[in-house]
Structure 1
Amino acid sequence: MAVDALDARILRLLLEQPRTSVREYARLLGVARGTLQARLDRLERDGVITGSGPFLSPAALGHPVLAFVHIEVTQGYLDEVGDALAEVPEIIEAFSITGAGDLLTRVVARDNGHLEDVVQRLIRLPGVVRTRTEMALRERVAYRVLPLVDAVGRVAAGDTPRHRS
C-alpha cells in the first residue's frame, strides 16, 4: 500500500500529538473529518497503523537491564521455541533472523542475576541449542519512525534529493 503525502502528514500528527481528537487533526490538516477518518481506517486496515499507546518503560516497571539474546535452535523446532518464548514475560520482542543464530530476543530484567535466570530458562527450552547474550549499555537512538514517515512523505510529494535543484 502506498503512503501519499497526506497520509504522511496524518502519521506525523499521530506521532507528535497522540492524544488529539480526530476533529482537531482534521482542522490542523485542513481536511474534512470524514476524509481523515477514511484515511485512518485505511491506514489501520493496511497495517500501517498497528496500534496506539501508551508506550511503557520496562525500566520504570523495575526492569532496567536490557539484553539481546541470540538463540540457536535445532532444525525443525523454530515454531515451538518461538511459541515458548511468548510465555516468558521478560522477553519483550523476538525475531527470526539470518546470520549467527536463529532467533534474536530483546530481554529485560531487574538486575544481572535476574537476567541470568531468564537466560537459564531459555537454555532449558526444548529445541534450544545455545544462547549468546549481549547487554545494552545505553540507548543511543530510541525506537522511532517519525524520520521514516518524513522520508516517505518527501518521496510521495516528489521532494527527493534527486529532484531538488
Structure 2
Amino acid sequence: MDMDELDTAILRLLLEEPRAGMREYARILGVARGTVQSRLARLERDGVIASFAPRLSPARMGYPVLALVHLHLAQGRLEEVTAQLGGVAEVLEAFSIAGEGDLVCRVVARDNVHLEDVIQQLIKLPGVVRTKTEVALSERVSYRLLPLVSQTVRRREL
C-alpha cells in the first residue's frame, strides 16, 4: 500500500497519542477532521491498522514469566496443532517458522511451575513431537512500530 506523509503522520500520532481523538489529530496536523477520519478508515480497510485495542501487560495481570516455546510437529499436522493452540490461554502468539522446529509460541505463565504445566499441556497436543523452551529474562526492546512508520516514508523518498 502506498502511504504518503499525512498517512505516516497520522500513524505516528496514533502510536504516540492513542487517546487524543480525531479532533485533536486534525488540529495537530492542520487538516480537516473528515480528512483524518477518511485516512484512518482507508488505513484500517487496507489492513495497515490491525486493531484499536489497548496493549495489555500480561505481567501486570499476574503472568510475569515469558517464554518462547518451539514446537516440533509430526509431518502434516501443522493446521491441526495450530487450531488446538487456540485452546491454551497462555499461548499469546504462534508463528510457523523455518529453522528450529515448526512453530514458535510466545507463552506467559504465573511462575516457573505454571510454565512447566503449560509446556506439558503443549507437548500433549496430538501432533506435537517435542518442544524446546527459551525463558525470557528481561525485555530489552519493547514492541514498537514508530521507527518502522518513520522509515516507511524515508524509504519512499530515496
Superposition TM-score tier, normalisation by shorter sequence: over 0.9
**Equivalent residue number for residue 119 of structure 1:** 119
8 Å contact kept, 1:22–1:36:
yes
Matches of 1:155 and 1:11, distance apart in 2: 16
Letter in 2 for 1:44: E
Is 1:94 the counterpart of 2:94 in the alignment?
A: yes
Is 1:6 the counterpart of 2:6 in the alignment?
A: yes
CA displacement, residues 57-115 of structure 1 (integer Å, 9 cap, x when unaligned): 10111110000000011111101100111110000111111111000000000000000
CA displacement, residues 14-52 of structure 1 (integer Å, 9 cap, x when unaligned): 000000111110111011111111110000000000111
8 Å contact kept, 1:26–1:33:
yes
8 Å contact kept, 1:5–1:154:
no
Matches of 2:41 and 2:55, distance apart in 1: 21
* TM-score, length basis structure 2: 0.97
**Equivalent residue number for residue 136 of structure 1:** 136
Matches of 1:43 and 1:136, distance apart in 2: 33
- 1:125 Cα deviation (Å)? 0.4
Alignment of 1:7-156 (within 5 A): 7-156=7-156
Letter in 2 for 1:134: E
Identity, in percent, stands at: 64
Matches of 1:60 and 1:39, distance apart in 2: 34
**Equivalent residue number for residue 163 of structure 1:** none
- 1:53 Cα deviation (Å)? 3.1
Matches of 1:4 and 1:129, distance apart in 2: 47
Q: 3-state SS of the aligned residue for 1:72?
A: strand
Matches of 1:100 and 1:86, distance apart in 2: 22
* TM-score, length basis structure 1: 0.93
- In structure 1, stretches of 5+ residues that fail to align are 161-165
Displaced runs of 4 or more, over 2 A: 153-156
Letter in 1 for 2:101: G
How many aligned positions are there? 158
Q: 3-state SS of the aligned residue for 1:60?
A: helix
- In structure 2, stretches of 5+ residues that fail to align are none
Matches of 1:49 and 1:40, distance apart in 2: 8
Matches of 2:46 and 2:97, distance apart in 1: 24
Q: 3-state SS of the aligned residue for 1:105?
A: strand
- 1:155 Cα deviation (Å)? 2.8
Superposition RMSD on alpha carbons, in Å?
Answer: 0.9
